[in-house]
Amino acid sequence: MARAKVLIVIGDAAEALDTLYPFFRLKEDDYEVVVAGPEKRLYHLVMHEIPPGWDITREGPSYHLASDIAFRDVKPEEYAGIFITGGRAPEYIRYDQHLMAITRHFFEANKPVASVCHGVEIIAAADVIRGKRVATVAKCAMDVQFSGGTFVNEGCVRDGNLVSGRTWHDNHLFMREFMKMLTEATAA
């Protein structure tokens, strides 16, 4: 029997812990992880932290991760779920119309979707969070509100097929729920 596939969306400046924790957690439960980016190439991940005494996030270089496929080549019907990572990548990849179509597919098909931190910029741009409760980093609350959602400052918020978290600090909370959602979806 073929393993269920889960798509992870990245671009340059995707946050390393937002991305790598789910990348390996999904593999741990034997899902086939497929990394998608604007192009099939190597991407530069970053590390985000708020140093003591700072009010804003400091960004530093981190690991690299290659995408397996370009957004334009993704056939979303082949995937059981999608994970939308954070970092600064969502600021620019949300303009990719192929990614918008992919994102809308998962909501229209009621498949599991996970979003963390700035990943909300993608689901907000896809216009799929109207009426939904969504967690994200506080500085992205406006993206949720302008898109018709309700910002919730919690580590794990599930609303229908969407589970969301604020930052990588919440990985252990929302990933547990995402794994449960994938198990239920693939068993059906």
> Could you give the residue numbers annotated as active site?
118
> Six-digit token pair at 18?
């937002």
**How far apart, in Å, are the Cα atoms of 111 and each of 38, 60, 181?**
22, 34, 9
Q: Are 19 and 8 in contact (CB under 8 A)?
A: yes
Of 188, 17, 39, residue with least CA distance to 112:
188
> Whole-angstrom Cα distance, residue 90 to residue 51?
23
> Whole-angstrom Cα distance, residue 86 to residue 91?
9
Q: What is the DSSP letter of 38?
A: S
